[in-house]
Amino acid sequence: MIRFLNNGQVAETEPMLTSSLAKAVTYADAGIKSSKLKANLLLADELSDAFDAGPALTQGRQ
């Protein structure tokens, strides 16, 4: 994700954005998909216990 605070930032990064988008289109046309990295997260015991206890989210927050 790229965030811009003003129009000047868009103009400054236009060459990089254009080349990145062209590369992405080339990959999409060739059927190449990026690999997803799996991260091993170390969770606090309290958080791990909360996850093990069951769903804690209400229907509206899932």
The first and second tokens of residue 33, run together, are: 């998909």
DSSP letters for 12-40:
HHHHHHHHHHHHHHHHHHHT--PPPPP--
What tens digit of pLDDT does each residue of 6-62 get? 999 999 999 999 999 999 999 999 999 888 778 888 888 888 887 787 776 666 655
Q: Does the pLDDT of residue 2 top 60, yes or no?
A: yes
d(CA 30, CA 3): 28
What tens digit of pLDDT does each residue of 5-18 get? 999 999 999 999 99
Residue among 4, 30, 28 nearest 17 (CA): 4
The answer to whether the predicted template modeling score (pTM) of the entire model surpasses 0.85 is no
At 58 the pLDDT is: 60
